[in-house]
Structure 1
Amino acid sequence: RELGYPKLMIDFLSPGILGVVVASLVAAFMSTVSTSINWGASFITNDLYRRFIKPDATQPQLVLVGRLSSILVTVLGAIAAFLATDVATVFRLVIAIGTGSGLVLILRWFWWRVNAAAELTAIVASFFVGMATSLVPAFKIEDFGLRIMFITATVTILWVMAMLLTPQESDATLEEFYRRTLPGGPGWQQQRMKTGLSPAQDLGKDLQKVLASILLLFGALLATGGFLLLKPNIGWIFLIMGVLGWVWLRQLNKSKILPMPRPGLDDDDFV
C-alpha cells in the first residue's frame, strides 16, 4: 500500500512533472525532519537542561547542549526508522504516545488550576502508557480505538490526581499569565476580577466559529467526494451544509475583533 503513490507517479507523470513532484516530496520530508530535530533539541535544552539541570548555564553551554541534543534526536530517529516495519505502525505509535496529554494541554488555556505538575505528569504518563499499550506484549491493546480510549482515561486520572495533590501556581504567576494572554471563558474569572482586564476574545463566539468551520470544511470535502463518486444526492446535502457553514462563519467574522495585547505595548500602540 505504501508503494501505491510512487507507482502512480511513475506510471502517469511525465519526466519533468515527476521530477518536480519528487523534489517537492524531498523538500517536505527535509522540512519535517529538520523541524522535529530542532523541536526536540529545543525541548531538551530549554525545558529540561536549563530549567532543571543547570539554570545558570551560559549561552555557549546551551549551544553545546543544543548541538548534542540535535545529534541525539537524529540518531534516535534513525534507529526508530530502521526498526519500523511500516508507516502506519509508526503513525499509530506517535498518536498513542501523544494522545494522553492532549486534554491537559488544551485545558491549561481555559482553567487557572492546571499547573506545571499536571502537565508534566500528563506528558510523562502519556509516553509510558502509550509505549506499554503499543509495544509491550503483556499490556498491548490490539484494537487501536480501545487503546486510545484507555490511554486517554488513564492519563487523565493521573494528571488530575497530580494537579489536586500539588499546590497551585502562585497568584503572581497566574496574574502575569493572564495579563499576557487574556484568555476567555469562566476558568479565569478570578484573575479577571483581580486584574480588571477583559478577555481578548469571546470564548463562546470562538466555539461558534469552530463549529461553522467544521461545517464548511467537511461540507466542502464530502460534497466534492459525493459529486466525484456520482452520488449527487449526497453531494448536494453536504454542499448545502458547507454553504450554511460559510454563511455562519461570515456573519461571525463581521463582528469586531480586538487585537491581542503584546507585552511592552500600550493600548494606544494598536491602530
Structure 2
Amino acid sequence: MDLRLLDYILIFGFFALVLFIGIYVSKKSGKNTSEYFLSGRSMPWWLLGFSMVATTFSTDTPNLVTDFVRTDGVSGNWGWWAFLLTGLLTVFVYAKLWRKSNVTTDMEFYELRYGGKPAAFLRGFRSLYLGVIFNVMAMSGVTLAAIKIGQVMLGLTPIQTVLIAGSVTMVFSALGGFRGVVYTDFVLFFVAMGGSIGAAVYLVNLPEVGGLSEIMQNDLVQSKMSFFPEFSDTEALMSVLIIPLAVQWWSSWYPGGEPGGGGYIAQRMLAAKNENHAVGATFFFNVMHYALRPWPWILVALASLVVFPDLESIKSAFPNIEESKLGQDLAYSAMLTKLPSGLLGLVLASLGAAYMSTISTHLNWGSSYVVNDFYKQQINKNASERELVNVGRITTVILMVLSALFALALTNAVQLFDIIIMFGAGTGLIFILRWFWWRINAWSEISAMFVSGIVSILFNFGSLGTILFGSEETMGLLPAWSKFPMVVLITTLAWLLTMFLTPSESTDVLKQFYRKTTPGGPGWKTIKKEINDQDDVTKTEKWSVPQGILAMVLGCIFVYGCLFATGNWIYGNYTLASGLTILVVVSAVALALVWRRISNLV
C-alpha cells in the first residue's frame, strides 16, 4: 500500500498518545487493586459509557459484520443485534443491583450470593474459565482480525502484526490499569468512529461502486439488503432470526452481552460513582452500540459485494494471503486498501484504536479475575496490594501471549463467535434469576457450566452431533438450527434438577445478600419472612422490576427504531423511515416517563 508521510504521522502519533496516557496514569493506578482494576470507584457515567462502546468496537467487529452481510445478508446481524434485549435488561434492572453489591469483580459475587466450599470453588474455577480460557478466545478473535488487516493492508506476516500491535497494547495496559484503559478508550472511540464513517463515505462513492443509488441496483446487493431473512426459508429464519430473539439473548453467555450483566460491563458498572451513573453508562453504551455504529460497517460490506463478489475475486486481488486466513470477513480489509492517503492513515489508526481498546479491556478484566478471585483467594490470602498489582501486570503479559498464539490457528471471526455462543448456551437463565429467586444455589451454576460445555463438545466435535444434526454432506435426525436450543434445553433441565436435589444456601447467607442488594420480588418472600420485622430493608423496599421490564421494552423499540429508521433513510425508503422516526420519538418520551417512575421507586 502507498502509505505517505501524513499516514505515518497519524498512525505513530496515535500510538505515542496512547502510550503516554498509560505511562502518565501508571503511578496512581499502581497504588492498590481498587485503583488498578476499578479506578477507585469514581468514574462518571459518560466516561464509562464511551469506554464500553470503544471496547466493543474491536478490529474483528467490522470483519464479523462483513462476514454476516456477505453470507446471510444484513439480516445475519441478528446474531448480535438480539443481545440488545439482555443489554437493556441490564440497564433497567441489574445495573443498580451490581453497583449496590459493591464487589470488586462479578466473580466475587459468588461468595456474596452463595456460601461454603461450592461458592469458593465456583468463584475460583470461573475466574480461570472465563478470565483465561474464554478471555483468550475472545482476544484471539480480535487479534486474528488485526492479522488479516496487517496482511492485506500492510503486507505484514501474522507474527509481525502480533509483535507490533500486541506489544504496544500490552505495555500500556500493564502500566495504566483500568484508569489507563478508560482514559484511552475515550480517545479511541472518536478515532475509531471517525475512521469507520470516513471509510464508508469514501468507499461507497468509489467509481467502481458508483454511490448509494448504484449499490441499491446491484443484483448481488439487493439479495442481501433485507433486515429480515426470507420467511419461506425455514433454516435461515430459525437460525438467523427466531433462535437469537427467542432463545439466544437470555440463555447464552457472551462477552459484552452477558444475561444479567457481567464481565467487563459489570466491571464498569462497579467502577461508577453510584447507581445512577452505572445505569446511565450502560444505557448510553447500548444506544451507541446498536443504533449508531452498525451502518458504516454494513455499507462497506454491501459495497464489497460490488468490488469483490466472491472469495475467488479476493484471492486473485491479494495472492499473498495465506489460504488458512481466506474468508468472507477479509472483504472489509480488502476494501480499505482503496482509501487515499490521509484517510488511509486515519482508518489504520482507527483500526489500531479499535484493537487496543478491546484488547486492553480484556487484559485488565481477565487479570482482575486471576488476581482478585484466584491468586488472592487460593494462592496467597495475605498478599500485599503491591504484590497483587504486580501479579496483575504479569497476568496481563501472559494473557496477551496466549491469545496471540491461539489467533495464529484461527480462520475467521464467525468461527470463534459460534464456539463462544454455543459453550455458554443454557447458562444465561441462571444469571438472570439468581438475583430474584432465593432457591438457586451454587450447585445449580456448577452443573449448568459443566453440562453446557460437555454437551456443546459432543454436539459440535463428536459423531453424536453428526448423527443428530447432520453435516455439510449428510442430513441429521434433527434440523441443524435445533442444535443451539437443544443445548439450552438439556442444560436448563440439568441445573433445575440439580437445584432441587441439593440443599439450598444457608439462611444467613441469603439474608446477608438480601440486605446488601435488596432485589425484592416474590422470589424472596421466604427469606423476607426470616428477616426481623424491625429491619428497615423490608419496610422501605419497593420492587421496581415490573417497571424496569416495561422500560426495557420501550428501550428496545427506541434503539431498534433508530437502527432501522437509519437503514431506511439510507435505502431511500422515505415513507417507512419517517414512520419509524416518529416511533423513535414517541418511544423516547414514553421511556423517559417510565424511567422517572422507576427512579422514584428506588
TM-score normalized by structure 2? Answer: 0.39
In structure 1, give the amino acid aligned to 2:593.
Q
Change (3 A) 1:256 1:76: closer
- Give the alignment of 1:182-201 within 5 angstroms: 182-193=518-529, 194=531, 195=535, 196-199=538-541
Distance 1:79 1:138 in 2: 30
Q: How far off its partner does 1:217 sit?
A: 0.8
Q: 2:383 — aligned with what? A: 58
Aligned length: 258
In structure 1, give the amino acid aligned to 2:564.
L
Instruction: Judge conservation of contact 1:201–1:258 (CA < 8 Å) in 2.
Output: no
- Gapped regions of structure 1 (runs ≥ 5): 261-271
Q: Does 1:28 align with 2:354?
A: yes
Q: How far off its partner does 1:88 sit?
A: 0.7
Instruction: Judge conservation of contact 1:117–1:163 (CA < 8 Å) in 2.
Output: yes
SS for the counterpart of 1:184 is coil
Aligned to 1:128, which of 454, 458, 461? 454
Aligned to 1:163, which of 499, 502, 509? 499
- Give the alignment of 1:223-242 within 5 angstroms: 223-242=565-584
Q: 1:149 — aligned with what? A: 485
Q: 1:17 — aligned with what? A: 343
Q: 1:2 — aligned with what? A: 329
Q: How far off its partner does 1:120 sit?
A: 2.1
**1:158-186 CA distances to partner (integer Å, 9 max, x unpaired)?**
11122112211111111111111111332
Instruction: Judge conservation of contact 1:182–1:200 (CA < 8 Å) in 2.
Output: no
Distance 1:154 1:36 in 2: 30
Instruction: Judge conservation of contact 2:436–2:520 (CA < 8 Å) in 1.
Output: yes
Change (3 A) 1:199 1:10: farther
SS for the counterpart of 2:337 is helix
Distance 2:432 2:480 in 1: 23
Q: 2:426 — aligned with what? A: 100
Change (3 A) 1:239 1:24: same
In structure 2, give the amino acid aligned to 1:168.
S
**1:129-184 CA distances to partner (integer Å, 9 max, x unpaired)?**
23332333443546764222111111111111221122111111111111111113
Distance 1:155 1:24 in 2: 40
Distance 2:586 2:563 in 1: 14
For structure 1, which segment, 218-227 or 129-138, has the greater mean C-alpha deviation from structure 2 after superposition?
129-138
Q: Percent identity?
A: 32
SS for the counterpart of 1:210 is helix
Distance 1:127 1:69 in 2: 25
- Give the alignment of 1:210-221 within 5 angstroms: 210-221=552-563
Q: 1:246 — aligned with what? A: 588
TM-score normalized by structure 1? Answer: 0.80
- RMSD over aligned CA atoms reads 2.9
Distance 2:520 2:448 in 1: 23
SS for the counterpart of 1:14 is coil
- Gapped regions of structure 2 (runs ≥ 5): 1-327, 472-478
Distance 1:162 1:28 in 2: 42
Q: How far off its partner does 1:206 sit?
A: 0.3
Change (3 A) 1:57 1:127: farther
Distance 1:251 1:17 in 2: 43
**1:185-220 CA distances to partner (integer Å, 9 max, x unpaired)?**
321233344242544651110001000001111112
Change (3 A) 1:70 1:128: farther
Higher relative contact order (CA 8 A, sep 6+): 2
SS for the counterpart of 2:589 is helix
Change (3 A) 1:57 1:74: farther
Q: Does 1:117 align with 2:453?
A: no
SS for the counterpart of 2:597 is coil
